[in-house]
């Protein structure tokens, strides 16, 4: 079952055009929506989650008209927002039992069963009696996923879930999402290229409300082969390089600046060919070089 977004646009009251004619077809599996802060990711995620309406456009999930039948859509979707409040003095288990009742899971023993399975799946079983206020960032995010999974969603929307997680928590969290991607559509928004390269089978790059590229990561990387070059530069050289070439990014390595340049052939004698990665794809798209 695909999520099909067609010509969705949204301009806020202050005149910001957060989404500009966005069309995407999102198949089952992990799908990454990658873009910098302010690109329009949260606006799109909230719109798909039926929490706000676009000015124009349509969204379908299988045979559900998401914008026209928001109640039906809510029955099959789970949403993990960027920020969510948790009751600090309630245990994870008690809170989930409460949400399970709100979700309409009838009978205490049925609720217990569902809650136990979710706590195990999100690796929170051992801390189920701990108060939510004592949870680390990663534990909070995994608890958020447990809540989002309560209704057994076929469409899971996760907005910037790895921001603020330490590396070990991030890996644990991404592994959890990856397991979920095996049976549903998981739409993940992020500004972290590694989230997408490690996890997603398909992706889109969004910038200023527009989709710059929709692709499969290996395909996009392959399309850049032979077109990324690198050189170590000083601050003074960088300015000249930027004037003469399409510099897509600069990275610091052991205190030295390394510039990546997009060009069809070697830009000069001191350049070294680079085997491109998804960061090069991202920065090429963001600086307008065709990927
Ligand atoms: P992202 O999630 O990629 O950071 P957002 O969808 O949050 O992007 O924001 C896209 C643009 O819309 C930004 O310029 C942001 O300032 C603006 N924006 C977001 N929400 C609102 C709102 N409720 N009212 C006005 N402008 C908003």
Reduced 3-state DSSP string for 158-183: EECCCCCCCHHHHHHHHHHHHHHCCC
pLDDT digits (tens, 9 = 90+) for 36-80: 999 999 999 999 999 999 999 999 999 999 999 999 999 999 999
pLDDT digits (tens, 9 = 90+) for 267-276: 988 899 999 9
Give the pLDDT band (50/70/90) at residue 108: very high
What integer pLDDT is reported at residue 291 of this predicted model?
Answer: 46
Q: Is the pLDDT of residue 103 over 90?
A: no
> Which of 16, 189, 205, 207 has the most ligand 1 atoms within 8 A of CB, as the residue to mutate?
16
* Nearest protein CA to atom 5 of ligand 1, as residue: 40
**d(Cα 138, Cα 282) in Å, to the nearest integer?**
26
Contacts by residues 166-174 (CB-CB < 8 Å, ≥ 24 positions apart): 166/137, 166/138, 168/138, 169/136, 169/137, 169/138, 169/139, 169/141, 170/138, 172/123, 172/138, 172/142, 173/138, 173/141, 173/142, 173/145, 174/198, 174/199
pTM: 0.91
pLDDT digits (tens, 9 = 90+) for 135-178: 998 899 899 989 999 988 999 999 988 887 888 888 888 888 88
**d(Cα 266, Cα 274) in Å, to the nearest integer?**
11
Q: Is the pLDDT of residue 240 over 70?
A: yes
Domain ranges of the chain: 3-214, 221-286
Q: For residue 237, which of 259, 261, 265, 267 has the smallest C-alpha distance?
A: 259
pLDDT average, residue stretch 238-260? 92
What integer pLDDT is reported at residue 290 of this predicted model?
Answer: 53
Which of 15-19, 50-54, 222-226, 235-239 shows the lowest mean pLDDT across its residues? 235-239
Q: Is the CB of 18 under 6 A from ligand 1?
A: yes
Q: For residue 132, which of 84, 179, 169 has the smallest C-alpha distance?
A: 84
**d(Cα 270, Cα 229) in Å, to the nearest integer?**
10
3 state DSSP class of 228: strand
Q: Is the pLDDT of residue 238 over 50?
A: yes
What integer pLDDT is reported at residue 83 of this predicted model?
Answer: 79
Q: Is the CB of 38 under 6 A from ligand 1?
A: yes
pLDDT average, residue stretch 108-125? 94
pLDDT average, residue stretch 206-223? 97
How close is the Cα of 286 to the center of ligand 1, in Å?
A: 18
**d(Cα 290, Cα 213) in Å, to the nearest integer?**
9
What integer pLDDT is reported at residue 180 of this predicted model?
Answer: 86
Task: For the chain, give the percent of residues with pLDDT over 90.
Answer: 76
Atom of ligand 1 nearest to the CA of 44: 6
The CATH label, of 1.10.20.140, 3.60.10.10, 3.40.50.300, 1.10.132.10, for the domain at 3-214 is 3.40.50.300
What integer pLDDT is reported at residue 283 of this predicted model?
Answer: 96
What integer pLDDT is reported at residue 189 of this predicted model?
Answer: 96
Q: What is the number of residues in the chain?
A: 291
> Which of 10, 22, 34, 43 has the most ligand 1 atoms within 8 A of CB, as the residue to mutate?
43
* Nearest protein CA to atom 24 of ligand 1, as residue: 12
How close is the Cα of 58 to the center of ligand 1, in Å?
A: 20
* Nearest protein CA to atom 7 of ligand 1, as residue: 42
């Amino acid at each position: 079952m695909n999520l099909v977004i067609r010509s969705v646009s949204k301009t806020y009251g202050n005149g910001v055009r957060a989404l500009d004619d966005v069309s995407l077809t999102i198949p089952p599996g992990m799908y990454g929506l990658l873009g910098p802060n302010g690109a329009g990711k949260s606006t799109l995620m909230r719109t798909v989650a039926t929490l706000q309406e676009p000015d124009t456009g349509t969204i379908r999930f299988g045979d559900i008209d998401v914008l026209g039948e928001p109640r039906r859509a809510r029955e099959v979707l789970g949403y993990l927002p960027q920020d969510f409040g948790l009751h600090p003095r309630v245990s994870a288990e008690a809170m989930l039992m409460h949400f399970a009742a709100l979700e309409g899971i009838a009978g205490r023993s049925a609720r217990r069963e569902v809650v136990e399975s979710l706590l195990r799946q999100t690796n929170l079983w051992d801390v189920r009696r701990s108060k939510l206020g004592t949870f680390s960032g990663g534990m909070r995010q995994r608890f958020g996923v447990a809540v989002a999974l309560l209704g057994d969603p076929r469409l899971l929307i996760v907005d910037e879930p790895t921001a603020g997680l330490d590396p070990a928590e991030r890996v644990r969290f991404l592994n959890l999402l990856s397991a979920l991607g095996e049976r549903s559509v998981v739409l993940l928004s992020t500004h972290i290229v590694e989230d997408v390269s490690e996890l997603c089978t398909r992706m889109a790059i969004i910038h200023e409300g527009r989709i710059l590229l929709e692709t499969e990561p290996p395909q996009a990387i392959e399309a850049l082969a032979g077109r990324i070059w690198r050189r170590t530069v000083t601050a003074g050289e960088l300015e000249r390089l930027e004037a003469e070439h399409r510099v897509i990014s600069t990275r610091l390595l052991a205190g030295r600046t390394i510039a990546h340049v997009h060009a069809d052939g070697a830009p000069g004698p001191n350049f070294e060919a680079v085997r491109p990665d998804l960061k090069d794809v991202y920065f090429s798209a963001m600086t307008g070089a065709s990927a």
